[in-house]
Amino acid sequence: MVPPRSQFGFSLVELSIVLVILGLLTGGILAGQSLIRAAELRAVPTEYNRWITATQTFRDKYFALPGDMPNATSFWTTAGGTGRDTACRTAMRGSTTTGTCNGNGDGILNEVTVIDEAHTYWNHLSRAGLIEGRFIYMPFDATTWVSGRDYPASKLGGNVGWLPCHTDRGNFGRGAKNMFILGQPRWSSFACEFGRTANIRSDEAYNIDIKIDDGLAANGIVTATNSHGEQQGCITGTFPVESISDTYMLSTSRRSCHLYFQFQ
């Protein structure tokens, strides 16, 4: 009597076919993830150029830097108070405000002032209709910043976005420059003092750098740093003692990079 088919085990041929199918599925998933990540990285130079173009257009039209514009309330009304005081800042923290606040016109995105100009930056560009979205001013004591709501999101994901700032005490050769940081905010008093976490590996940062600039971690328009809390993993220097000789740590897999993009 021949036993029913259910009592037989799988043949070697059948097992081989299953293993081949599983291998193909796994390979396809990994390849798909790699392609998605490559597309995210390719989007970064496009995003950067978008913000540079919007900033240049704004300056050509209003003769001022977004966020630093001293007469912004003349164009888009006052959110509250005098237009440059604590009352205005408080009013702009509300999601329903229709006005804005003024900067002081010195060409620097001041961070610790009555109005934190670096975070009025996106609000001014939005009011001018030069970028998509309506970004509400969020001062640096905020603890709930969300990319896409408070600052433009990056396709890199993970709450990573674009944050403007100014530094005259930045590491290595940055000097006194207005910059964009690509990363996550640190929720501290100074946006330029790196982010709390990051979503960029060293080799990915190098990939972005070489497309826009010179591929050097501590020189040029694009520079990098280890994110706050990550002592190492992006560049060879150990946070916070980093130098002009630092290079990308291309063999590491930790996503610990923050990138700086000069625009002035």
Is the predicted pLDDT of residue 191 greater than 60, yes or no?
no
pLDDT at 24 over 70: no
Kindly indicate the confidence band of residue 196, based on its pLDDT and cuts at 50, 70 and 90: low
Between residues 4 and 90, which one has the greater pLDDT?
90
pLDDT of residue 145: 72
Number of H helices, E strands in the chain: 5, 4
For residues 64-74, average pLDDT: 95
Report the pLDDT value the prediction gives residue 96, as an integer from 0 to 100: 62
| Average pLDDT over every residue of 226-246 | 77
Taking the C-alpha atoms of residue 23 and residue 227, their distance in angstroms, rounded to an integer, is 37
Is the pTM for the entire model greater than 0.85?
no
Query: Could you check whether the bond before residue 240 is cis, i.e. omega within 30 degrees of 0?
Result: yes
Higher-confidence residue of 196 and 134: namely: 134
pLDDT of res. 120: 87
What is the tens place of the pLDDT at every residue in 83-102?
888 888 888 876 666 789 99
pLDDT surpassing 60 at residue 1:
no
In our burial notation (b when 16+ CB lie closer than 10 A, e otherwise), range 206-227 reads: bbbbeebbebbbbbeebbbbbb
Model confidence at 134: pLDDT above 90: no
The pLDDT of residue 237: 82
Residue 104 clears pLDDT 70, i.e. is over it:
yes
Mean pLDDT across the chain:
80
- Is residue 5 predicted with pLDDT exceeding 80? no
Summarize the confidence of residues 58-78 as an average pLDDT.
95
| CA–CA–CA angle 42, 125, 82 (5° rounding) | 150
Per-residue pLDDT band for 228 (boundaries 50, 70, 90) equals low
pLDDT at 14 over 80: no
Contacts of the segment 11-14: beta carbons below 8 A, 24+ positions apart? none
Q: Are 260 and 222 in contact (CB under 8 A)?
A: yes
